[in-house]
Amino acid sequence: MFRRERSIPLRGSAAALCNNLSVLQLPVRNLTRFGVVHGPSAQLLSAAPEGVPLAQRQLQAKEGAGVSPPLITQDGVADVVTADDSGLLCVWQSGPEFKLLTRIPGFGVPCPSVQLWQGTIAAGYGNGQVRLYEASTGTLHVQIDAHARAICALDLAPEVGKLLSAAEDTFVHIWKLSRSPEGGYIEVEHCHGECVPDTQVCGARFCDPSGSSFAVTGYDLAEILRFSSM
């Protein structure tokens, strides 16, 4: 279970972009840094554990420059997965030259967010589904009808295999992923659901690798909402 913590004020609301929240936890002074895109600029904030903002900067993009959500995710073995508006997923091995390992066909639905964890791809789609694939073969392990509207963000807590999904239906869900030692297939357990009422959610991230806290941004919402486990 999670409870609402003190929110972090923003100078302006988050832009209506998928994955519009970045989180970096620093061991120095136990600080957490947040990044949010607002129009042609990016807001960078540092906050203490209790949510008190310690510093805030705003970086202006060059005139005419665009912003786009991160559709590339890299895991600990330096493999990369990319996604596009048709839902096509491509798994690459990085190095001096990228090598295409697997292509997973789309089905006409955009995939705005992907994550890679221990050889498993988690993909969030515009129809509210989360699909889990084997990265090496493209085999579909699990299909979850996770949300009633388009998914706008996915994140993973790598230490424990928790998956966070957030969507335009105002819900954030947390799932526990595990691999069966017998058959090697992926098992999924729903751990928590959080409604962010009257908010067009556009970003959500875990704040630590153990998945004990997470943060949410929304369009026309001039704050970062924070939740921590009870």
pLDDT of residue 68: 38
* pLDDT value of position 128: 97
pLDDT confidence of residue 69: 39
The pLDDT tens digits of the residues spanning 176-195 come to 999 888 877 899 999 999 99
For 55-69, letters b (16+ CB in 10 Å) and e give: eeeeeeeeeeeeeee
Work out the mean pLDDT of the chain and round it to a whole number. Answer: 86
- List phi, psi (to 5°) of 2: -125, 150
Specify the 3-state DSSP secondary structure of 38: strand
Kindly report, residue by residue over 26-40, the tens digit of the pLDDT: 776 678 889 998 877
Q: pLDDT below 70 — which residues of the chain?
A: 28-29, 49-78
- CA 109 to centroid of chain Cα atoms: 18
- Which backbone phi and psi does 29 adopt, to 5 degrees? 60, 15
Domain 2-60+68-229, CATH number (from 2.130.10.10, 3.40.50.300, 3.40.605.10, 3.40.50.620): 2.130.10.10
Predicted confidence at residue 32, as pLDDT, reads 87
Domain residue spans of the chain: 2-60+68-229
